[in-house]
Amino acid sequence: MGEERGRRLVRWLAVATAAGMFFVVMLGATVTTTGSGEGCGRSWPLCHGQLIPPLSLPALIEYSHRLITGVEGVLMAGLAVGLLRYWRRRREIQVLLPLMVLTLLVQSVLGALAVLAPQSPLVMALHFGVSLTAFASVLLMAAVLLEEGRGERYRSSPPPPGFGMLAWGSVGFTYLVVYLGAYVRHTNASLACLDWPLCQGQLVPGFSGPVGIVFLHRLAALAGTLLLAALAIYAARWRRQRPDLFWGSLVALGLVLAQSASGALLVLSRLSLIASLAHSGIVALLFGSLCYLVLHAVPLPVSRPAEAEALRPAAEATVPAAAGGPER
């Protein structure tokens, strides 16, 4: 197999692995929403000690999640082999590949512990966050491979001052909001507030008990929305110099607004499956989009001076006035 053909296959494998990881996240949300976490009893990796699960809906949902996670593990293994063969010197791959493997292992361990030795909600809430990190790592590797020599040219131009720190802060704060949301779900507090945006008809219902947990999550989600709005406004001032950051920020802002709408639907529909899956899927895409912004805020690593000089003219031709200030 020629090298170019091999690289093309690995790129498609990266896309398939990212899509597969998104599917794993959605199946995990289905398990939690339908209460199917104990559908296979206290048996892992088998289901009730059997290779073929009994024909009950909870067992089929839980076992399907396990099977798809196993298939995803095989895809990740194949992707790792391809990355080490063709892109092992890329600095982004050297960081993202170990992160992908580590998060997959941690996710599997947490999933097994949830069945064999149920943990506290504080620990169980980590499971969803680890899954999002695994998804983001695969998504970013797919982006690195697909943008090689094309979309990555923007990264040869410096990002706006302080944008990288703001993007990193957005990722960290969004992770905190996600953890709080997962904690709300695992403490069965999702319907502690039966209305939206108020809680029990009050603007400030207090911070005690299940109502306090939900209210804290809503406050954090509001703060996260304002943070992403600020990120988009700042990126808009530099849209000519770095259109990738501008459009990426707009996508993230649109996703966080959609996430808020799905949260309202989740409450008003009394935790319907569709609303729950929408809530989980949108937040996965939101987290991935923010991680993509962080990737593009990091200067393009180049191993040879000639490579940097080759990329610079393309970036300057595509991004006018790259060294200039923000638009007024």
**Which pLDDT score is estimated for 322?**
42
Q: Which of 34-48, 295-309, 312-326 has the highest mean pLDDT?
A: 34-48
pLDDT-derived band of residue 326, with 50, 70 and 90 as boundaries?
Answer: low
The domain ranges of the chain are: 1-148, 157-328
Residue 206 near residue 212, CB atoms below 8 Å: yes
User: How many percent of the chain have pLDDT more than 90?
Assistant: 57
pLDDT-derived band of residue 306, with 50, 70 and 90 as boundaries?
Answer: very low
**What mean pLDDT do residues 143-154 have?**
84
**Which pLDDT score is estimated for 318?**
46
From 7-16, 126-135, 144-153, 233-242, the region with the lowest mean pLDDT:
144-153
Cβ neighbour number for residue 221 with a 10 Å cutoff: 20
pLDDT above 80 (res 296) = yes
pLDDT above 50 (res 282) = yes
pLDDT above 80 (res 46) = no
The residues annotated with a catalytic role in the active site are: 62
